[in-house]
Amino acid sequence: MRILVTGGAGYIGSHCVRALDQAGHQVVVLDNLVYGHAEIIEQVLGVPLVVGQVGDREVLEAILRGRHPNLIGTAHESKPIEAVLHFAAYAYVGESVSDPAKYYRNNLGDTLCLLEALVASKRPIPIVFSSTCATYGVPQEVPMTEFHPQAPINPYGRSKWMVEHLLKDFSAAYGLPSVIFRYFNAAGADPAGDLGEDHDPETHLIPRVLDVMSGREPYLQIFGDDYPTPDGTCIRDYIHVCDLADAHVLGLERLLRLREREEPIGAPLIYNLGNGTGYSVQQVIETAKSVTGRGLLAHVAKRREGDPAQLVASADKARQELGWRPRYPELSTIIDHAWQWHQRRFQR
């Protein structure tokens, strides 16, 4: 199947491109390369890349019809796209608070443009959308199911939550088939060692711990040790990026099966993706020490605004409906794969 992956040069998108490729699909990537890495597409994944904005209707239409010049001589030439996986988004919570316009324009405005293009043809093109547990806001209970109330507390979370509403409305009004995945904490790297996390700036805990352990950063700040958790540090549900990627392939397949059977899809299929086990910042540090054999200098700093004490998923729905089984549920494996990548990518 011919699939457009927006944001395919980014961390989660690139792992999904590989999973789709391995499942026998033909992928084209659209990425503005603001945070993505062209060389990952060109040198590692080897699929066609179009550099551009999701909100550029002309570029979108050209890709959706297989008429973009970059598709000449590929499996996409003159052939329509059959499904879209939409990862392209900005994802820095702090920046979304200081510059919300950037987030609403890109994450919401551009996605509206994409959805309009998908429903413009007689048969709407199915879409799989990357959402986030940030759409839930402060948890009322853990583990959190898909029925947990949604009350996002920052513009990033709200931009994703608004797109979820667009998808619901587009599904009801125009019959746009969609899957919404709400990720918990994506982490790890492809065990092959050639794909992984490379953000600038890097804000996520596991890569920052590894930055300190490899000497790229002098020390780690632990954002608060006075939370109502057993060791006082925040608890998160870390999920291996390859397991996320597998879920996308399964979600897409389920959506297409339902459509083939002509079953009415009046609403998006919605799934949490997490392991259902929470680890504290302290536990992440201890596990990283034993995986890498390295020490780490850490200081306790003040709480980071908007960090809930605990975020843990119930992902039973994805297991039951999609038959999804995480291959790498152990935190030590997740950190080990991240470390392999980190050493290779950032070796000096």
Cβ neighbour number for residue 261 with a 10 Å cutoff: 7
Positions in 109-168 near ligand UDP (CB under 6 A): none
CA–CA dist 7, 88 (Å, integer): 4
CB of 123 or CB of 304, closer to ligand UDP: 304
Q: Where are the alpha helices (DSSP H) in 79-121?
A: 93-98, 100-103, 110-118
Query: Which residue among 11, 35, 136, 156 is the active-site one?
Result: 156
Q: How many residues does the chain have?
A: 348
- Residue 159 is encoded by which pair of tokens? 């931009």
- Shortest approach of ligand UDP to residue 297 CB, angstroms? 12
CB 191, min distance to ligand UDP, A = 21
Q: What would the x/- binding string for ligand UDP be over residues 295 to 314, using CB under 6 A?
A: ---------x--x-------
Interface segment toward ligand UDP; rule CB under 6 A; list 55-63, 82-90, 123-131, 204-212? 204-212
Q: For the purposes of burial, counting CB atoms within 10 Å of the CB of 195, is it exposed (0-12), middle (13-18) or buried (19 or more)? A: buried
Give the span between the Cα atoms of 259 and 237, in whole angstroms.
32
- Choose the binding region for ligand UDP from 6-14, 58-66, 72-80, 215-223 (rule: CB under 6 A): 215-223
Q: Does 199 bind ligand UDP (CB under 6 A)?
A: no
CB of 197 to ligand UDP, least distance (A): 10
Stretch that binds ligand UDP, among 75-83, 202-210, 263-271, 323-331 (CB under 6 A): 202-210
Nearest to 220 by CA among 154, 277, 289, 307: 289
The nearest distance, CB 194 to ligand UDP, in angstroms, is 23
> Between residues 63 and 311, which has the closer beta carbon with respect to ligand UDP?
311
Instruction: Tell the residue number behind the tokens 């009415």, with chain if given.
Output: 264
Rg over alpha carbons for the chain, rounded to the nearest Å, is 20
Tell me if 189 contacts ligand UDP by CB under 6 A. Answer: no
User: How does 294-309 read in b/e, with b if 16+ C-beta sit within 10 Å?
Assistant: eeeeeeeeeeeebebb
Are residues 9 and 49 in contact, defined by beta-carbon separation less than 8 angstroms? yes
Query: Residue with CB nearest ligand UDP?
Result: 234
CA distances from 272 to 17, 89, 131, 319 (A): 20, 19, 9, 10
Query: Nearest distance from residue 74's CB to ligand UDP, in Å?
Result: 36
Give the nearest distance from C-beta 109 to ligand UDP in angstroms: 23
Instruction: Determine if 205 is a binding residue for ligand UDP (CB under 6 A).
Output: yes
Classified as helix, coil or strand, 235 is strand
Q: Comparing C-alpha atoms, which of 199, 172, 51, 45 is closest to residue 115?
A: 172
Q: Which stretch binds ligand UDP (CB under 6 A): 4-12, 62-70, 216-224, 264-272?
A: 216-224
Number of residues that bind ligand UDP (CB under 6 A): 14
To the query of whether residue 156 is one of the catalytic residues in this protein, the response is yes
Q: Is 120 helix (H, G, I), strand (E, B) or coil?
A: coil
The amino acid that residue 20 corresponds to is L
Residue number with CB closer to ligand UDP (217 or 253): 217
Q: Between residues 16 and 313, which has the closer beta carbon with respect to ligand UDP?
A: 313
- Cβ proximity of 188 and 242 under 8 Å: yes
Verify binding: residue 281, ligand UDP, rule CB under 6 A.
yes
Instruction: Tell me the C-alpha distance between 175 and 271, whole Å.
Output: 19
Does residue 221 belong to the site contacting ligand UDP (CB under 6 A)? yes
CA dihedral 40, 101, 160, 341 (to 10 degrees): 20
Among 220, 239, 250, 270, binds ligand UDP (CB under 6 A): 220
**Which x/- pattern over 233-272 shows residues binding ligand UDP (rule: CB under 6 A)?**
-x-x------------------------------------
Q: Which residues are catalytic?
A: 156
Q: Which residues bind ligand UDP (CB under 6 A)?
A: 185, 203-205, 208, 220-223, 234, 236, 281, 304, 307
